[in-house]
């Protein structure tokens, strides 16, 4: 593991130096393994992977190395050979757990083991009783079968739920097969990209995804977007030159899964499939351990707790019953009963349903949850490490500010702008707008006239797109303006000139002059100007005006914006008549003494919903950390505008600047904010990183590589935080995996990122995470309620057994009946609690502490088991004794009767009145008792359901009728009870009998008592916060 | 709710009626297995019978405040007023032990067991206020018709399985005034509180010629219009008992 990780860093952070180191390690490994040929080969493979030196080789050396020809490509036969050797050019999907293993896990997980034990005991006692010739032996067989069925059915259900949520994801990973243009047998062919092999000559053009790792041998204006690999959002130009030792930095290699933004290129495939850089990072992601989700830990804790109670009570009463001289066999049967009564059979299924309901709700809010348990994880998140581009921002350059007439104007940067509000009356603006419109090569793709301008697809780079949309919004149809001002010459932007220039005819038919328009880096543009336009008039550019320009330029640049300067010149008609031939190579026209018109600055603006979402996070006690590959100034500007760095906080550098002291002398503790550069991070020890994470509330990591994200995530986790990480790039995947909850971007995200993530953000919007957090917190609260509700009746199910054993009364409730409560009447109500609205603003409290705030805590257990549970038991026993008394058995008669009562041979059993009962008559009465007990529990569970709606507030504040599903639950509960009692009351095997109507109401006073008691509890909690009562009665 | 329960009669009797029919002796199972020549093998049955019949001895039925002579032949029901203690305790009808003849234990303290001719006593379960109705004649087995009385709930035992019919031999019935059944004057029962010394009417059944060394199953039924049999409750209005008498 340690070694593996060093690979990632070596690739990204330490560059070639470490590559060599790893190489040496591998060399050693090779020597060690020399005996085993297979192993040796593997080691060599590994070495080859890391030893990427193709960028240093010349074209002919490459041809030799890969046995290919640049003109002809590989032969089909040779390609097939290599394909057979290397396998298809595709990433191996992460190894999925076999379905059967998943299924079996459901069968033995949670309480299933306990129930299997119960079933096993049932069958054992069936066997023994059968051998002894006991009539009722088959009851145990059936019980065992029922228990097994319960386990299998709940297992199938849980498996189905999980499979369903996995399927949603599966649909995601389906990709349209990619095509690649390959030279084979001296012919150009379109081939599916997975057929590519090492040595193939491929051609790529703007818009293509790079189909493999490619050493470029011919390029023309080629730029690639490496953001999925390195996080750099700027397209990188690519050429055939060997420009850097590090294969990742050199210009002549293009990497698999990155995209070619513009230009064309031809190259030799040097790595395919899992051997590509991306492939290695992706496979690394599967090496990063998948942490258990907080809710899984909570549920495990809960299962242990309940199982512990079940087993200890079971064993205790086994010992008691044996020492009370019950037969061992009987004691075993009691043990089964105790286990069944203690285990909330339906609960885990309920939890699954609740989670998937929330998952559905979240999907509607654009959070697609891959792993059901991640639903809650988001709720306990305490740190969100968020990407900037696309997540916090709109992921498109937009004009944010303008400077003309010595004044800065702000432009609207919102997502759905239709007009621009700034003052457009100045003639300088008219001139500026003309330059912006004309000096621009970007165009709308045709056929989008009905779309809003901001949504239209543009061919062109980011800043030109921004300018095009900007002018389209203000001026209307840009394309017709361009048509009226016909372009006669053009010099596109290049990095040496740092400007772009074009010459146009004017749209004024009387004006025969040509208009030269130019835009570029502001300082370069200014150099070429001698005048400046102020309110439409050209004025000489004196030092005062140059000073004003500098100030504006600094100001805009300081906001992290990309600034462009614009100037123009009307060429004198005499020198440049209509017929003049412009030559862009010799530049037979002036490119200096131009007239400076203005500045435009652009930024990728924050999404309008983000500042609100960030402040919500803040009040919810969640630290938002920005992790971006962008420039620190830009990152900081965006962080400030969305509130990740609040208006009043300062970084160390800010304080130093304000106090005019060196950075070293600033008290670091005074700075609440920090902007950490990736370069600094590289040299930091983990202690230093911890210190930064601890000391600063507001942190921005800029210029970080996606691999550094992993370090940051680990740092956060060392603080004990539950960390959510957003990512889209392939090599974000280790960080996504490592995070407690990895959030991949649905639109911008790569498949590898989506695979590694627990959640996919369909709209790439940070604000959606916040709604997810809210849902996650709500479900945690609601699961607490569900569990409290479910646990309560377990006592009412358990007490009958205990009293039966100790007092030898006729059995008050049967095992099968218990299962009907746990898996029948109680299911829908407990799911209904998942629909409960939050009691208070859950986004105003801190995230739960995963060590302290347990799902099931002592208070919950004590309150449910020992308070409400006992009340319920009393209520149910009252009904039980009432039924028996009214049929002739007064409570006093019932004590100690068990042996005779259950004896088959006694058919003249005397009741309190001297009447004599046959065995069957007694059994039938016993079943009536079961039914009465069952009905009482059901009735009291209605009250229990209502009180569980809130934990602190009064029910009346929460609203009795707001959650309609609760009422569905109540009606279903009573409905099922009615059906069981009156509909199936004649099926003896189920042990239900029709019940006199009045017995339904015996427990009602107890139900009311439960409600009143709980209201008083809540009242006291609200009245005396922090008191003993609050501490012990609030769960 | 417990306070609303009367101490004299239960609120509901739907679970206990119609009554069950049971037998004495009752040891562990509804099975009588013994060897006629070995007194120890039938001793539990004999003791069980003796215990049960103690209350039926003449000396136990002497107090005239408690007991009432209800005649020697079956007669009408004896209503004794409302089910409360306004009039104090209710009287009960005497049941003469000698009516049971060979099975009374008065002459043969082994109740026929020593001769391999075991007696059993048949009784109808007590139910407060229950008035069994004599059967309408046509449905009855011909043997019962012979001793028909309109105030009699007759009892009759046959082989459980038809193929055993010849194995149970002669069956003797001893009851009130020689009738093989329960006289209606013993009903209704007024409960433990009002009739603490109530004597259920009995019918003794003696199997004088049972086949030895094999299991013989016998079913006894009481007949009455409101005495019903049920497939689920094998002791409602009837019972079956297994005899297994070893010859040595």
Q: Which of A467-471, A505-509, B119-123 has the lowest mean pLDDT?
A: A505-509
Which 874-913 residues of chain A touch chain B by CB within 8 A? 878, 881-882, 885-888, 890-891, 904-908, 910-913
Confidence (pLDDT) at A213: 87
d(CA A4, CA A283): 10
Q: Nearest-CA distance from A366 to chain B in Å?
A: 57
- What pLDDT shows up at residue A862? 92
CA distance B145 to B126: 26
Residues of A324-350 as b/e, b for ≥16 C-beta within 10 angstroms? eebeebbbbbbbbbbbbbbbbbbbbbb
How far, in Å, CA of B215 to CA of B119, rounded?
A: 16
What confidence score (pLDDT) does residue A414 get? 81
Give, for A383, the enclosing helix (H) or strand (E). strand A383-386
Does the pLDDT at position A291 exceed 70?
no
Residue among A1001, A1028, A1003 nearest A1017 (CA) = A1028
Set of chain A residues whose Cβ sits within 8 Å of the Cβ of B236: 918, 920-921
Q: Does the beta carbon of B28 lie under 8 angstroms from any beta carbon of chain A?
A: yes
Task: Tell me whether residues B198 and A886 touch, CB distance under 8 A.
Answer: no
More reliable by pLDDT, A13 or B114: B114
Q: Verify whether the Cβ–Cβ distance B1 to A885 is below 8 Å.
A: yes
Say if A914 is an interface residue toward chain B (CB within 8 Å).
Answer: yes
Spatial contact of A780 and A295, defined as CB atoms under 8 Å apart: yes
**Residue numbers in B near A885 (CB within 8 A):** 1-2, 5, 11
Query: Nearest residue of B to residue A882 by CA position?
Result: B2
* CA angle at A397 for the pair A395 and A399, rounded to the nearest 5°: 140
Report the length, in residues, of chain B.
248
Tell me the CA end-to-end span of chain A in Å, nearest whole number. Answer: 41
Answer for the pair B68, B94: CB distance below 8 angstroms, yes or no.
Answer: yes
Asked whether residue A1000 carries a pLDDT value surpassing 90, the answer given is: yes
Chain B CB contacts of A988 below 8 Å: 232
Instruction: With a cut of 50, say whether residue A445 has pLDDT above it.
Output: yes
Whether the predicted pLDDT of A289 surpasses 60 = no
Mean pLDDT of chain A: 83
Residue A335 has pLDDT above 60, yes or no: yes
Q: Is the pLDDT of residue A42 over 60?
A: no
Distance in angstroms (rounded) separating the CA atoms of residues A256 and A218: 17
Query: Which tops the pLDDT comparison, B150 or A51?
Result: B150
B84 touches chain A (CB under 8 A): no
Per-residue confidence (pLDDT) for residue A723, from 0 to 100: 92
Cβ neighbours of residue A407 under 8 Å, at least 6 residues apart?
none
Q: What is the pLDDT of residue A39?
A: 41
- One-character DSSP codes across chain B: -GGGS-SSS-S--TTTPSPBEEEE--BSBSEEEEETT-HHHHHHHHHHHHHHHGGGSGGGG--TTTEE---SS--------SSSGGG-SPPEE---GGGGGGGSSSS-TTTTGGGT--EEEEEEPP-BT--PPPPPGGGS-HHHHHT--TTEEEEEEEESSGGGGGGS--EEEE-GGG-SEEEGGG-SB--TTT-TT----EEEEEESSPPSSSEEEEEEEE--TT----SS-TTBSEEEEEEEEE--
Q: Which residue has the higher pLDDT, A319 or B5?
A: A319
Residue A878 confidence (pLDDT): 94
Instruction: State phi, psi for A250 to the nearest 5 degrees.
Output: -65, 155
Contact A689, A715 (CB under 8 A): yes
- A917:B230 CB<8 A: no
pLDDT > 70 fraction of chain A, expressed in percent and rounded? 91
Q: pLDDT (tens digit, 9 = 90+) per residue, A708-728?
A: 888 899 899 998 889 999 887
Residues A120-129 have a mean pLDDT of 88
pLDDT at A180 over 70: yes
| Nearest residue in chain A measured CA to CA from B198 | A914
Q: B32 touching A, CB under 8 A? A: no
- Contact call for A905 and B230, based on CB within 8 A: no
Q: Which residue of A has its CA nearest to B237?
A: A918
Q: What is the mean pLDDT of residues A527-555?
A: 90
Distance CA A880, CA A258 (A): 73
Q: Higher-confidence residue: A2 or A384?
A: A384
Burial class (CB in 10 A: 0-12, 13-18, 19+), A929: buried
Q: How confident is the model at residue A701 (pLDDT cuts 50, 70, 90)?
A: very high
Q: Which of B1, B6, B201, B237 to mutate to test the interface with A (most CBs of A within 10 A)?
A: B1
B95 min Cα distance to partner chain A (Å): 18
> Which chain B residues have a beta carbon less than 8 Å from that of A920?
230, 232-236
A918 near B CB under 8 A: yes
Is the Cβ pair B26, A906 closer than 8 Å? yes
Residues 175-234 of B with CB under 8 A from A: 189, 191-193, 195, 198, 230, 232-234
B chain contacts of residue A906, beta-carbon cutoff 8 Å: 26
Query: Could you tell me if A759 and A769 are in contact, meaning their C-beta atoms sit under 8 angstroms apart?
Result: no
Please choose, from the candidates A740, A724, A710, A722, the residue with its C-alpha nearest in 3D space to the C-alpha of residue A284.
A710
- A506: tokens are 């004017």
Q: Does the pLDDT value for residue A749 go beyond 90?
A: no
Task: Please name the residues in contact with A509: beta carbons below 8 A apart, sequence gap of 6 or more.
Answer: none
Average pLDDT over residues A114-143: 84
| Res. A288: pLDDT tops 90 | no
Cα distance between residue B202 and residue B182, in whole Å: 7
CB contact under 8 A, B1 and A916: no
| Subunit contact A911:B127, Cβ cutoff 8 A | no
Contacts of A887 in chain B (CB under 8 A): 10-16
pLDDT of residue A916: 93
- Cβ separation A928–B15 shorter than 8 A: yes
**Active site residue ranges of A:** 387
Q: What is the mean pLDDT of chain B?
A: 88
For residue A886, give the nearest of B10, B126, B189 by CB distance.
B10
Q: What is the rounded distance in angstroms from the CA atom of residue A45 to the CA atom of residue A126?
A: 61
Partner B, chain A 141-160, Cβ-Cβ below 8 Å: none
Cβ pair B16:A921 closer than 8 A: yes
**Is some CB atom of chain B closer than 8 A to the CB atom of A306?**
no
Q: What is the pLDDT of residue A225?
A: 77
Handedness of CA A300, A301, A307, A312 (dihedral sign): positive
Whether residue A27 has pLDDT greater than 60: no
* Residues within 8 A of B (CB atoms), A 939-998 only: 988, 996
Query: Does residue A24 register a pLDDT over 60?
Result: no
Written as six digits, the tokens of A4 are 């593996």
Q: Taking Cα atoms as reference points, which of A14, A744, A796 lies closest to residue A341?
A: A796
Interval A495-517 mean pLDDT: 85
Count the neighbouring beta carbons within 10 Å of the beta carbon of residue A837: 13
Contact B10 A1002 (CB under 8 A): no
d(CA A267, CA A224): 14
Report how far apart, in Å, the C-alpha atoms of A57 and of each of A16, A220, A268, A423 are. 16, 20, 12, 58
pLDDT band at A851 (very low <50, low <70, confident <90, very high): confident
Task: Please state, for a pLDDT cut of 90, what percent of chain A lies above it.
Answer: 22
A964, with CB counted inside 10 A (0-12, 13-18, 19+), is exposed
pLDDT at B139 > cutoff 80: no
Question: Which chain A residues touch B6 with a CB distance below 8 Å?
Answer: none
Q: How distant is the Cα of A897 from the closest Cα of chain B, in angstroms?
A: 16
Instruction: Provide the 8-state DSSP code for A663.
Output: G
Average pLDDT over residues A424-445: 88
Q: Is residue A553 within 8 Å of A601, Cβ to Cβ?
A: no
Mean pLDDT of the region B159-188: 89
User: What is the band of A243 on the pLDDT scale with cuts at 50, 70, 90?
Assistant: confident
Buried b (16+ CB within 10 A) or exposed e, A580-597: bebeeeeeebeeeebbbb
B13·A908 Cβ contact <8 A? no
pLDDT in the model for residue A665: 82
Q: How far is A902 from chain B (nearest CA, A)?
A: 12
- Per-residue pLDDT for A10 more than 50? no
A102: pLDDT strictly greater than 60: yes
Q: b/e string for A668-677 if b means 16 or more Cβ within 10 A? A: eeebbbbbbe
Of B12, B189, B192, the CB nearest to A887: B12
Question: Which candidate from A886, A917, A925 shows the least CB-CB separation from B5?
Answer: A886
> How much is the pLDDT for A441?
86
Residue A695 parent element (H or E):
helix A686-695
Does A327 or A22 have the greater pLDDT score? Answer: A327
Which of the residues B16, B202, B222, B240 would you substitute to probe the A interface, choosing the one with the greatest number of A C-beta atoms within 10 Å? B16
A134 in B contact zone (CB under 8 Å):
no
Q: How confident is the model at residue A79 (pLDDT cuts 50, 70, 90)?
A: confident
Q: Which residues of A touch B123 (CB under 8 A)?
A: 908
Q: Tell whether the model's pLDDT for residue A576 goes beyond 90.
A: no
What is the token pair recorded at A613?
Answer: 């979402």
Instruction: Choose among B11, B26, B193: nearest Cβ to A905.
Output: B26
- What ipTM is given for this predicted complex? 0.94
Q: Quickly list DSSP for A992-1031.
A: -----GGGGGTTHHHHHHHHHHHHHHHHHHHHSTTSHHHH
> CA A600, CA A553: separation in Å to the nearest integer?
10
Highest mean pLDDT: which range of A117-121, A281-285, B2-6: A117-121
Using the beta-carbon criterion (under 8 Å), do B15 and A921 form an inter-chain contact? yes
Residues in Cβ contact with A7 at an 8 Å cutoff, skipping those fewer than 6 apart? A22, A50, A280, A284
Q: Tell me the nearest-neighbour CA distance from A1012 into chain B, angstroms.
A: 22
**Beta-carbon-side half-sphere exposure of residue A912 (alpha carbons within 13 Å):** 21
pLDDT at residue number A13: 33
Locate A501 and state its tokens: 């220039």
Classified as helix, coil or strand, A630 is: coil
Q: Tens digit of pLDDT for each residue in A827-843?
A: 999 999 989 988 888 88
Chain A nearest-CA distance from B107, in A, is 28
d(CA A16, CA A521): 34
Q: Which of A670, A621, A679, A627 is nearest to A649 (CA)?
A: A670
pLDDT tens digit string along A898-924? 888 988 888 899 999 999 999 999 999
For B61-79, what is the mean pLDDT?
A: 89
pLDDT in tens, A782-822: 999 999 999 999 999 999 988 998 899 999 998 889 989 98
**Which pLDDT does position A704 carry in this prediction?**
83
Q: How confident is the model at residue A1019 (pLDDT cuts 50, 70, 90)?
A: very high
The residue with greater pLDDT, A342 or A225, is A342
The alpha-carbon gap from B71 to the nearest alpha carbon of chain A, in Å, equals 25
Are B12 and A920 within 8 A, CB to CB?
A: no
pLDDT at A166 over 90: no
Beta strands in A212-302, from DSSP E residues, in sequence order: 213-225, 236-238, 253-254, 259-271
């Amino acid at each position: 593991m340690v070694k593996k990780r060093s690979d990632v860093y070596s690739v990204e952070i330490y560059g070639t130096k470490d590559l060599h180191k790893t190489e040496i390690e591998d060399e050693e490994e090779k020597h060690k393994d020399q005996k085993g040929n297979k192993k040796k080969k593997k080691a060599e493979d590994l070495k080859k992977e890391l030893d990427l030196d193709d960028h240093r080789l010349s074209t002919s050396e490459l041809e030799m190395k890969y046995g290919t020809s640049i003109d002809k490509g590989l032969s089909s036969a040779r390609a097939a050979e290599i394909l057979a050797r290397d396998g298809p050019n595709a990433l191996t999907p992460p190894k999925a757990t076999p379905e059967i293993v998943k299924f079996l896990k459901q069968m033995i997980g949670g309480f299933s083991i306990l129930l299997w034990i119960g079933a096993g005991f049932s069958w054992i006692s069936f066997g023994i009783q059968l051998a002894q010739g006991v009539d009722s032996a088959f009851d145990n067989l059936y019980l065992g079968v029922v228990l097994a069925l319960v386990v299998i059915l709940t297992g199938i259900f849980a498996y189905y739920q999980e499979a369903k949520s996995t399927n949603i994801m599966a649909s995601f990973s389906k990709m349209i097969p990619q095509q690649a243009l390959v030279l084979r047998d001296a012919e150009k062919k379109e081939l599916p990209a997975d057929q590519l092999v090492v040595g193939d000559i491929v051609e790529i053009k703007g818009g293509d995804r790079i189909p493999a790792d490619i050493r470029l041998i011919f390029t023309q204006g080629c730029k690639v977007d490496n953001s999925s690999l390195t996080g750099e959002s700027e397209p990188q130009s690519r050429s055939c030159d060997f420009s850097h030792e590090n294969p990742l930095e050199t210009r002549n290699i293009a990497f698999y899964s990155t995209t070619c933004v513009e230009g064309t290129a031809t190259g030799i495939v040097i790595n395919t499939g899992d051997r590509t850089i991306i492939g290695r990072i992706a496979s690394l992601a599967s090496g990063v351990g998948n942490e258990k989700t907080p809710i899984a830990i909570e549920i495990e804790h809960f299962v242990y707790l309940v199982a512990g109670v079940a087993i200890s009570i079971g064993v205790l009463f086994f010992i008691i019953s044996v020492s009370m001289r019950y037969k061992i066999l009987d004691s075993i049967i009691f043990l089964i009963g105790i286990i069944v009564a203690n285990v909330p059979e339906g609960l885990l299924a309920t939890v699954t349903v609740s989670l998937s309901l929330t998952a559905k709700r979240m999907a509607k809010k654009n959070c697609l949850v891959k792993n059901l348990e991640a639903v809650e994880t988001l709720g306990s998140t305490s740190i969100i490490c968020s990407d900037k581009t696309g997540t916090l921002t709109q992921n498109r350059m937009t004009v944010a500010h303008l400077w003309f007439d010595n004044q800065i104007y702000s432009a609207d940067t919102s997502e759905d702008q239709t007009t621009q509000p700034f003052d457009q009356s100045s003639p300088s603006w008219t001139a500026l707008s003309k330059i912006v419109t004309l000096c621009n090569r970007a165009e709308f793709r045709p056929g989008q006239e009905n779309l809003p301008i901001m949504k239209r697809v543009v061919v062109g780079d980011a800043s030109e797109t921004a300018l095009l949309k900007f002018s389209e919004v203000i001026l209307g149809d840009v394309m017709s303006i361009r048509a009226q001002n016909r372009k006669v010459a053009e010099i596109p932007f290049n990095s040496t000139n740092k400007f772009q220039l074009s010459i146009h005819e004017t749209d004024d038919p009387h004006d025969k002059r040509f208009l030269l328009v130019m835009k570029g880096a502001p300082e370069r543009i200014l150099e070429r100007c001698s005048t400046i336009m102020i309110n439409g008039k050209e004025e000489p550019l004196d030092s005062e005006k140059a000073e004003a320009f500098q100030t504006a330029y600094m100001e805009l640049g300081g906001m992290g914006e990309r600034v462009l300067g614009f100037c123009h010149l009307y060429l004198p008609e005499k020198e440049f008549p209509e017929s003049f031939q412009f030559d862009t190579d010799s530049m037979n026209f002036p490119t200096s003494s131009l007239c400076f018109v203005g500045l435009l600055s652009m930024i990728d603006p924050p999404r309008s919903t983000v500042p609100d979402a960030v402040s919500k996070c803040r009040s919810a006690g969640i630290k938002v950390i920005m992790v971006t590959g962008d420039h620190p100034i830009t990152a900081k500007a965006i962080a400030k505008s969305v509130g990740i760095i609040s208006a009043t906080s300062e970084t160390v550098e800010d304080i130093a600047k304000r106090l005019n002291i060196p950075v070293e002398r600033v008290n670091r503790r005074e700075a609440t904010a920090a902007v950490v550069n990736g370069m600094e991070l590289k040299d930091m020890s983990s202690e230093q990183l911890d210190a930064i994470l601890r000391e600063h509330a507001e942190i921005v990591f800029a210029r970080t590589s996606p691999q550094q994200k992993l370090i940051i995530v680990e740092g956060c986790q060392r603080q004990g935080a539950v960390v959510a990480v957003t990512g889209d790039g392939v090599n974000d995947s280790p960080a996504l995996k490592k995070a407690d909850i990895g959030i991949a971007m649905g639109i911008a995200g790569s498949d590898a990122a989506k695979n590694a993530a627990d959640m996919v953000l369909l709209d790439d919007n940070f604000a959606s995470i916040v709604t997810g957090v809210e849902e996650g917190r709500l479900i945690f609260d609601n699961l607490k309620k569900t569990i409290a509700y479910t646990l309560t009746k377990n006592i009412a199910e358990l007490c009958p057994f205990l009293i039966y054993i100790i007092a030898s009364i006729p059995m008050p409730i049967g095992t099968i009946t218990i299962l009907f409560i746990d898996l029948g009447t109680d299911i829908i109500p407990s799911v209904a609690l998942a629909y409960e609205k939050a009691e208070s603003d859950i986004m105003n409290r801190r995230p739960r502490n995963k060590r302290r705030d347990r799902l099931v805590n002592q208070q919950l257990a004590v309150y449910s088991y020992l308070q409400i549970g006992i009340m319920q038991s009393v209520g149910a026993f009252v009904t039980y004794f009432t039924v028996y008394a009214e049929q002739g058995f007064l409570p006093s008669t019932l004590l100690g009767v068990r042996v005779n009562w259950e004896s088959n041979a006694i058919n003249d059993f005397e009741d309190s009145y001297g009447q004599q009962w046959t065995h069957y008559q007694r059994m039938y009465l016993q079943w009536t008792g079961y039914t009465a007990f069952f009905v009482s529990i059901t009735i009291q569970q209605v009250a229990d359901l209502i009180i569980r709606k809130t934990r602190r507030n009064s029910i009346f504040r929460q609203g009795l009728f707001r959650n309609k599903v609760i009422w569905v639950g109540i009606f279903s509960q009573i409905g099922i009870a009615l059906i069981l009692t009156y509909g199936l009351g004649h099926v003896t095997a189920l042990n239900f009998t029709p019940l006199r109507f009045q017995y339904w109401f015996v427990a009602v006073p107890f139900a009311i008592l439960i409600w009143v008691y709980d209201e008083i509890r809540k009242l006291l909690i609200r009245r005396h916060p922090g008191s003993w009562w609050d501490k012990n009665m609030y769960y | 709710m417990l306070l609303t329960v009367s101490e004299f009669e239960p609120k509901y009797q739907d679970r206990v009626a119609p009554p069950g029919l049971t037998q004495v002796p009752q040891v562990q199972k509804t099975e009588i297995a013994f060897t006629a020549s070995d007194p120890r093998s039938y001793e539990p049955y004999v003791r069980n019978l003796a215990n049960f019949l103690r209350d039926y001895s003449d000396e136990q039925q002497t107090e005239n405040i408690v007991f009432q002579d209800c005649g020697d032949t079956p007669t009408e029901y004896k209503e004794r007023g409302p089910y409360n203690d306004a009039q104090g305790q209710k009287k009960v009808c005497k049941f003469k032990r000698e009516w049971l003849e060979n099975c009374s234990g008065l002459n043969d303290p082994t109740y026929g067991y020593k001769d391999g001719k075991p007696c059993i006593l048949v009784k109808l379960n007590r139910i407060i206020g229950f008035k069994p109705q004599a059967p309408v004649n046509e449905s009855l087995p011909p043997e019962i018709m012979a001793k028909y009385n309109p105030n009699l709930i007759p009892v009759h035992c046959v082989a459980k399985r038809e193929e055993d019919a010849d194995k149970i031999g002669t069956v003797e019935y001893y009851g009130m005034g020689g009738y093989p059944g329960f006289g209606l004057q013993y009903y209704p029962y007024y409960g433990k509180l009002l009739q603490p010394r109530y004597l259920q009417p009995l019918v003794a059944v003696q199997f004088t010629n049972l086949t030895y060394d094999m299991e013989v199953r016998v079913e006894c039924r009481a007949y009455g219009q409101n005495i019903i049999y049920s497939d689920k409750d094998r002791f409602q209005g009837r019972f079956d008992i297994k005899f297994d008498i070893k010859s040595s």
